[in-house]
């Protein structure tokens, strides 16, 4: 077992948070007036489903890396449940949903340490634009689960070569500087993209595009693995892990999308249905496209395709009809497959194709929402999509896509530089050869 230089700083930071918690007095009960018990029950379940997606992602990614990096890769997802959850309570939720500062970011003091969350009124925005039938605290915890999984998604692009401590630091900075602003822009009723009329039902922009562009920045900054340079990539460690991870992600995604209706209502049923059929269509599309290249049907291919379909339908789930969801799943999988195939033949070492799947899938979903969103499904659609003869929404989505892409990639790249100055991002050659399970955690699994 290897040793490392002791450091007290992380523990002292956590102890400081624990002490601060002693001086934060929150109300003991939640007001009940105006709360619908059915909606509340559904959102509690949906919140649990969304959290389940992060362990699902751990299995999904852990099965695809080589056997020397399974534990480290899986832990990079699990650690997000600890780190991001605490940050969200301290000031992350406030940055995303606190009183708007110019439409760009929330006031970090509005809900600092969840102050004013449990007894908050059942609305959000300067003019109470969003009305809730669930406790505001439940909305805050539902949103926490989205914040947890987003930086975990990025880890797939950095797998097999990133210093674990540096990854944790980058994850914290990403949550503060990229995720929270994008959540505010898109989902806070005073956010500038929200007011522009940009639609993102459950996180295609906020979650998947931000993670995808950060993954591309990370892959470029960390450069290629030695095994990638030598074209000596080891096979996936455990395909059944990938199948299990896909099942957990697919199941959890019903909470992700249907839960974003924020109630047990007809809109949640629409989002539930479009989510499932897009994933099914995309999984089939991916393996059938592989067949046209002369490949055999693979479990890995179907799993990746299904996840791409889930990604692509996410921004559109509550805005499009069920037949359109089939089209979105099929086309998104084809495009992502092409990009992933190109990536595999290039010098870009995005270990688990996070950018082709989440970045490209998220962008496809955003564009498809601008094309196919209709007020016949959701009255919140002020202008129908391009498919219905109106151009306003599509133009706004093109503009938002450019803004979000530039912001997510640019800021993430800067954060990688900052992180690298504080803690080296890349493990050394010997640690990479040994594998991150041993070099970072002194743990291993048998081959």
pLDDT tens, residue by residue, 251-280: 999 999 999 999 999 999 999 999 999 999
Band the pLDDT of 1: cuts 50, 70, 90: low
The DSSP code sequence of 73-125 is: HHHHHHHHHHHHHHHIIIIIHHHHHSSEETTTEE-TTTTGGGTTTTT--SEES
State residue 2's pLDDT score.
56
Please state, for a pLDDT cut of 90, what percent of the chain lies above it.
Answer: 91
- Give the pLDDT score at 229: 87
Q: What are phi and psi of 257, to 5 degrees?
A: -90, -55
Taking residues 191-218, what's their average pLDDT? 97
Using the predicted structure, report yes or no on whether residue 20 has a pLDDT greater than 60.
yes
Residue 446 reports pLDDT greater than 70: no
**Residues 6+ positions from 421 with CB-CB distance below 8 Å:** none
Of the listed ranges 59-73, 228-242, 248-262, the one predicted with least confidence? 228-242
pLDDT at 160: 94
Buried b (16+ CB within 10 A) or exposed e, 337-346: bebbeebeee
Please say if the pLDDT value at position 447 is more than 70: no
Per DSSP, 233 falls in state P
Separation of alpha carbons 312 and 330, rounded Å: 10
Band (pLDDT 50/70/90 cuts) for residue 228 is: confident
The pLDDT value given to residue 434: 93
Mean pLDDT (the chain) is 95
């Amino acid at each position: 077992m290897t040793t490392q230089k002791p450091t007290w700083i992380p523990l002292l930071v956590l102890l400081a948070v624990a002490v601060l918690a002693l001086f934060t007095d929150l109300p003991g009960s939640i007001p009940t007036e105006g709360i619908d018990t059915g909606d509340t029950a559904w959102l509690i379940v949906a919140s649990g489903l969304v959290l389940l997606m992060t362990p699902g992602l751990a299995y999904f990614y852990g099965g695809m890396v080589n056997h020397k990096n399974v534990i480290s890769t899986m832990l990079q997802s699990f650690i997000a449940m600890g780190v991001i959850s605490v940050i969200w309570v301290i000031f992350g939720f406030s940055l995303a949903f606190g009183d708007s500062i110019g439409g760009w970011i929330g006031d970090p003091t509005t809900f600092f340490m969840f102050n004013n969350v449990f007894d908050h009124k059942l609305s959000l925005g300067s003019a109470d634009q969003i009305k809730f039938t669930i406790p505001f605290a439940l909305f805050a915890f539902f949103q926490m689960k989205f914040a947890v999984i987003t930086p975990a998604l990025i880890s797939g692009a950095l797998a097999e070569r990133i210093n674990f401590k540096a990854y944790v630091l980058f994850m914290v900075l990403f949550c503060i500087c990229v995720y929270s602003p994008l959540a505010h822009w898109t989902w806070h009723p005073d956010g500038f993209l929200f007011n522009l009329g940009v639609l993102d039902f459950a996180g295609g922009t906020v979650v998947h595009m931000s993670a995808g562009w950060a993954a591309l920045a990370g892959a470029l900054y960390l450069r290629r693995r030695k095994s990638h340079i030598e074209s000596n990539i080891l096979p996936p460690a455990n395909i059944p892990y990938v199948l299990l991870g896909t099942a957990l992600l697919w199941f959890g995604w019903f909470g992700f999308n249907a839960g974003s209706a924020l109630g047990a209502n007809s809109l949640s049923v629409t989002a539930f249905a479009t989510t499932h059929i897009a994933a099914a269509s995309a999984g089939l599309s991916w393996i059938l496209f592989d067949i046209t290249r002369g490949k055999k049907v693979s479990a890995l291919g179907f799993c990746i395709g299904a996840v791409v379909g889930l990604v692509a339908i996410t921004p559109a789930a509550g805005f499009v009809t069920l037949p359109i969801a089939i089209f979105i799943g099929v086309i998104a999988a084809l495009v992502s497959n092409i990009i992933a195939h190109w990536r595999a033949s290039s010098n870009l070492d995005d270990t688990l194709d996070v950018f082709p799947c989440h970045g490209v899938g998220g962008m496809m979903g955003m564009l498809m929402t601008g094309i196919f969103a209709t007020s016949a499904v959701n009255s919140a659609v002020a202008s129908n999509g391009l498919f219905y003869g109106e151009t306003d929404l599509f133009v706004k989505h093109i503009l938002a896509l450019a803004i979000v892409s530039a912001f997510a990639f640019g800021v993430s790249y800067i954060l990688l530089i900052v992180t690298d100055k504080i803690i080296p991002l890349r493990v050394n050659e010997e640690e990479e050869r040994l594998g991150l399970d041993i070099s970072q955690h002194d743990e291993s699994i048998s081959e």
